[in-house]
Structure 1
């Protein structure tokens, strides 16, 4: 059994120049003892897949994207807690972009912005921590998924 996570990603240009030639890479992984190395490799550009591109986002404007990330059955590394098998996915996004000079004549600068998120089930009432997904109970859909930003981020 694999896992599929749908997402909505909103890009916002907080700069004073248009962001051009935007490329968004994605990664899905397990939260486990190797997660730090996995995220470091992703943010170094060594792993992850191009998932979206956008031509331009004007200053102060936003652009929303949707998609799905999948963990194949052989990619899932469950966390064992007693007799329960838990899945704690991490997802990461890395947006690379360029901008033009003030006259808008040539692309002169480049930047990257990225962030990692932990994915789980929202509690009722909502809490700071998410509940992991139980995968020992067979295939199912989870009705209250949520995400929280981790401390792993990239800005240049």
Structure 2
């Protein structure tokens, strides 16, 4: 069984997005083992360099990763899949992996260059800039869609 770890910076504040996350997490857990991890965001203060904020958040994220995790941060510069390609890629990972596939979504400033450089694969949901909260919901929906594709279920058309 595929094991997914979804590591996000901060909690979701928008109630409609929280509802969507809960909806898709519940559905996704019927297919795969899922661990949802929220890390505390670094304080954004006037005059504090962005690199320092991203580095602090990157260290907090790294503490949630196990050595065997396959690290997949989300960044708009990453690799784009269509839904069928994502399903096939996850299927290959589930066959060849012993650890967790860890998807990582940064906060409002994104993710540090160091974290992106350490990635096994950088993934993009879209070339569009998305809020970090919206990205969480879109990722969950696409992971759920991939699972239904692999099972031949009617959700994906």
Give TM class, smaller chain: under 0.3
More strand by share: 1
Q: Over alpha carbons, which structure has the higher Rg? A: 1
TM-score by length of 2: 0.26
Q: Which has the higher contact order (CA 8 A, sep 6+)?
A: 2
TM-score by length of 1: 0.27
